[in-house]
Structure 1
Amino acid sequence: MQTKKQLLVALSAVNILSIAGAAQAVSLDQLSQISQEANNLYQQGKDIADKADEHQTNRKGQQNTSTACHNEHGLRSKKGNVHTRMKFVNNSAKEVKIYWLNYSGDRVFYKSIAPHAKYVQPTYKTHPWVVTDRHENCMSIFVSSLPSAIAEIR
């Protein structure tokens, strides 16, 4: 929470500097530099927010439910009304594939994730996601249980 407040303060300061600079007829180069600094601060804030999400996960434990692959045939998506997002973090040395289990329980391909890459998928609390290797062998199944969940793939 503190990090978000710091980000808002920093962005407000940049906006004030931009307005003050424009009022003093700053050069185009100076405005460009201020804009670049604002973009850098935005990216730093985004990185801090991502790290805070990961820290929150480490502090509270897993933010999702991992299901054994042998349960896949009994799983399917149910009508969802609670939006979440699942952040897939591929900590393995191999590419993985992400599948949504639809309302019939069938796999629907969504994304391949490179080794050591991340991918954020908007979803619902009632939707299971299957992670497979390149040969379609199930590695894990995840269902989000919080507004922002992290699915770590090893």
Structure 2
Amino acid sequence: MTERAYNVMFLCTGNTARSILAESILRKEGAGHFHAYSAGSHPKGTVNPFALKVLESFGYPTTGLRSKSWDEFSAPGAPAMDFIFTVCDNAAGELCPIWPGHPITAHWGIDDPAAVTGNDIQIEKAFVEAFKYLKNRIGLFLSLPLASVDKMALGTRLHEIGQTPGASSHSPGAK
């Protein structure tokens, strides 16, 4: 019997950087076991070029990545999500759509690399840092025995993952 693939959504306000990074990381790291998606409450319509550059530099897929609205995923016929992670503090505080299937949610806030000012090297460094924090969290997520853990314990563990190093300064419990 084959284990089913889980649908995972990463949410951010603009869907240009952090949620895009997370979608690509999970696409590669969770291939065959997870379907990764990302969306924004107020998508900007373009993916940040530094996000694409960093993903490509680490060998992660960029094909098909686009900035899109979370409305696409709350419409009839959209895939039902099993997990939804907010990766920016603004999206965590917004009123989200009603998601079919009652997914498990957690906040994995990461400071916005797109908000960093400076030269290209400084901005790219912020994107690499965000990438590494997200990759670490996704690795922890992938190591969980999802099929054998009850929903409440899983929710607690997912919340704890959101408090690992790199938690945005506005995340609950951030140090």
TM-score range, shorter chain: under 0.3
TM-score by length of 1: 0.22
More strand by share: 1
Structure (1 or 2) with the larger CA radius of gyration: 1
